[in-house]
């Protein structure tokens, strides 16, 4: 029997010359990506894991056994009932936004498994597709049990099939990033920027917080997924190296575009969880500190390694670290019935901690929370709509998120006219991304356009029920019904 | 009605404000402040800024020429 080293390299690097069809027909630029290079130029593409299928199956089996053992030990409803209330809502946020995005990533990987320009790339992508199936199935399986306890967990599966505004934003991102990108853009955007650049926030930062609050199930899930991500993310660097060598401006463009889009997603999903939904006594660092430690420095080092520049909007991004997720959280808190998870109102201790961590932005944000708290003081506990916005909220025509960029002193939104239609953007980078490829984005209607076109109801409650797919039982509320020990109600 | 993107200084997000052409600038500012009041408390009169220009509060929107889905800002007058 041949030893591993005697057959593996031959099996991994099995490319051949075509005799009755052209390379360009086998690997069309629409699917494989540009710049289109002859196969010889891709011959030195490689990744360090070099996993065989047999090894893959053995490793995944062992990981699944470990995961199921933890689920059997601590994955019951009564185990989740012990978790802090804020944290269980961080879980609902992740449970909805991630699993079916992972399923879309199956498609991106399968495209690379067919149209990647080197056999080693295609083999790794095939295993990547299997990884992403697993990352879809694990949270669906684990969270399904919890629906009996709290029907907001039903959004784990329901979310991407709804017209909820967050789902529209998430689909806008996932469809482009994972479903429609060619193999080169997928590798640069998903494997390099998203997975290599940002997922440490989840796998290191959030995993550590999960451990702190005693959520062994979520911690184990993240750990199990992280080892898969670490392997298939390796498709990014060699592809980016080839792209930077042959088409540096396109490499820079793809990095700049996907860094911004990835940042916005993580700012909401991870930023909310770290700075608001994790109990104060379990917080280790702020979201900004995690970003600086696990994303910013490493990303800049990676860019330098490839001789590429930091994004042109870098100063805007650094400013956003102080403002963006706070502005979205405060906005979303006051429109919480429009989403499927509950929010925590930061009290004096939390606000003091945030003031310490965000001295540049917190004074203005604190005034907002004072105002919201005063509203709760005048309202009965549980009367969420007494402390809720009613005006229609517009959305960015690129990211489809609310217009929360810039600062409270100067919101960064701007409008442009394109082909007879007016578009609004939350930020200069979102506007820039649109302007690079307007044909890619122009036809998409944000929620306001849908309302104005009569496709969605203008009345808020009708919008929530009939269009966003929410009902009283599952729409977001204050996690404590506005009933906090520090909040003294006004005598009436 | 004209749908407009309104931004109140101190608020965390932009809001869609539906305005009538015969409304005054002051009424438009008041409408935005009411829509944002859950987050921002305003006490004094507001000034409305459109295309970098502070508008006369008594002017009607039709005189300003502000069109659908344009941006305006409002802040407390100094």
Exposed / middle / buried, residue B68 (Cβ in 10 Å: 0-12, 13-18, 19+): exposed
Nearest to A249 by CA among A420, A35, A100: A35
Interface probe, candidates B39, B52, B68, B72, chain A, greatest A C-beta count within 10 A? B39
Q: Is it the case that residue A492 has pLDDT exceeding 80?
A: no
Interface probe, candidates B1, B32, B34, B38, chain A, greatest A C-beta count within 10 A? B38
Domains and CATH numbers, chain A: 48-389+462-467 (1.10.620.20)
Contact residues for A141 (Cβ-Cβ < 8 A; gap 6+):
none
pLDDT in tens, A346-404: 999 999 999 999 999 999 999 999 999 999 999 999 999 999 999 989 999 999 999 99
Nearest to A391 among B9, B16, B69 (CB): B16
**Average pLDDT for chain B:** 96
Q: Is it the case that residue A272 has pLDDT exceeding 90?
A: yes
Q: What mean pLDDT comes out for the span A74-91? A: 90
Range scoring the smallest mean pLDDT among A105-109, A288-292, A354-358, B43-47: B43-47
Q: What mean pLDDT comes out for the span A423-437? A: 98
CATH fit for domain B2-76, picks 3.40.720.10, 3.30.450.20, 3.40.50.300, 3.10.20.270? 3.10.20.270
Nearest to A452 among B3, B36, B70 (CB): B3
Q: What is the C-alpha to C-alpha distance for residues A329 and A309, in angstroms, rounded to an integer?
A: 31
**Nearest CA-CA distance, residue B17 and chain A, Å:** 7
Q: What mean pLDDT comes out for the span A59-63? A: 95
Domain locations along chain B: 2-76
Contact residues on chain A for B9, CB-CB shorter than 8 A: 408-410
Contact residues on chain B for A452, CB-CB shorter than 8 A: 3
Nearest to A92 by CA among A141, A174, A136, A151: A151
pLDDT class for A246, splitting at 50, 70, 90? very high
Low-confidence ranges of chain B (pLDDT < 50): none
A and B: number of Cβ contacts within 8 A? 91
Phi, psi of A341 (to 5 degrees): -135, 165
**Nearest CA-CA distance, residue A283 and chain B, Å:** 24
pLDDT of the residue at A72: 87
pTM of the predicted model as reported, rounded to 2 decimal places = 0.96
Nearest to B25 by CA among B57, B73, B49: B57
**ipTM of this complex prediction, to 2 decimal places:** 0.97
Q: What is the C-alpha to C-alpha distance for residues A462 and B24, in angstroms, rounded to an integer?
A: 30
CB pair distance less than 8 Å for A387 and B36: no
Interface probe, candidates B7, B10, B13, chain A, greatest A C-beta count within 10 A? B13
Cis peptide before A35 (omega within 30 of 0): yes
Residue A436 at interface with chain B, using a CB cutoff of 8 Å: no
**Average pLDDT for chain A:** 94
């Amino acid at each position: 029997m041949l030893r591993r080293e005697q057959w593996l390299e031959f099996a991994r690097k099995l490319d051949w010359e075509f005799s009755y069809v052209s390379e360009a027909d086998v690997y069309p630029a629409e699917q494989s990506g540009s710049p289109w290079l002859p196969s010889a130029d891709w011959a030195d593409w490689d990744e360090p894991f070099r996993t065989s299928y047999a090894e893959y199956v053995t490793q995944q089996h062992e990981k699944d056994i470990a995961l199921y053992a933890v689920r059997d030990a601590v994955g019951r409803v009564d185990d989740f009932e012990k978790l802090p209330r804020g944290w269980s809502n961080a879980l609902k946020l992740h449970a909805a936004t991630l699993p079916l995005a992972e399923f879309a990533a199956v498609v991106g990987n399968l495209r690379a498994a067919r149209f990647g320009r080197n056999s080693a790339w295609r083999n790794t992508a095939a295993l990547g597709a299997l990884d992403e199936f697993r990352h879809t199935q694990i949270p669906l399986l684990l969270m399904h049990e919890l629906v009996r306890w709290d029907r907001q967990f039903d959004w784990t599966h329901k979310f991407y099939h709804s017209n909820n505004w967050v789902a529209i934003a998430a689909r806008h991102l996932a469809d482009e990033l994972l479903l429609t990108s060619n193999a080169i853009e997928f590798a640069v955007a998903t494997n390099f920027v998203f997975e290599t650049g940002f997922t440490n926030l989840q796998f290191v930062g959030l995993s550590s917080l999960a451990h702190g609050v005693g959520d062994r199930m979520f911690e184990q899930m993240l750990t199990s997924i992280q080892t898969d991500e670490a392997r298939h993310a390796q498709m990014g660097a060699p592809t980016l190296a080839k792209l930077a060598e042959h088409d540096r401006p396109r490499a820079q463009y793809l990095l700049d575009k996907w860094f911004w889009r990835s940042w916005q997603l993580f700012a909401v999903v991870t930023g909310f969880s770290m700075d608001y939904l994790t109990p104060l006594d379990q917080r280790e660092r702020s979201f900004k500190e995690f970003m600086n430690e696990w994303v910013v420095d490493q990303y800049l080092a990676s860019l330098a390694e490839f001789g590429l520049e930091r994004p042109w909007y870098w100063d805007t991004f650094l400013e956003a670290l102080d403002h963006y997720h706070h502005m979205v959280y405060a906005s979303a808190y006051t429109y919480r019935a429009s989403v499927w998870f509950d929010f925590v109102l930061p009290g004096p201790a939390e606000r003091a901690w945030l003031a310490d961590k965000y001295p540049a932005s917190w004074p203005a944000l604190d005034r907002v929370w004072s105002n919201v708290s005063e509203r709760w003081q005048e309202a009965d506990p549980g009367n969420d709509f007494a402390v809720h916005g009613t005006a229609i909220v517009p959305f960015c025509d690129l990211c489809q998120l609310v217009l929360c960029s810039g600062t409270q002193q100067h919101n960064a939104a701007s409008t442009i006219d394109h082909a007879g239609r007016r578009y609004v953007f939350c930020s200069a980078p979102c506007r820039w991304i649109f302007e690079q490829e307007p044909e890619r984005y122009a036809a998409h209607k944000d929620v306001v356009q849908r309302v104005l076109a009569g496709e969605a109801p203008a009345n808020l409650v009708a919008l929530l029920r009939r269009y966003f797919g929410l009902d009283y039982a599952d729409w977001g509320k204050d996690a404590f019904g506005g009933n906090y020990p520090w909040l003294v109600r006004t005598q009436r | 009605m004209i749908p407009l993107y309104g931004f109140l200084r101190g608020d965390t997000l932009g809001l869609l404000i539906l305005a009538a052409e015969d409304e005054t600038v002051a009424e438009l500012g008041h409408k935005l402040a009411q829509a944002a009041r859950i987050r921002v408390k305003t006490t004094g009169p507001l000034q409305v800024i459109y295309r970098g220009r502070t508008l006369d509060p008594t002017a009607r929107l039709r005189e300003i020429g502000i069109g659908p889905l344009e941006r305006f800002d409002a802040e407390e007058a100094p």
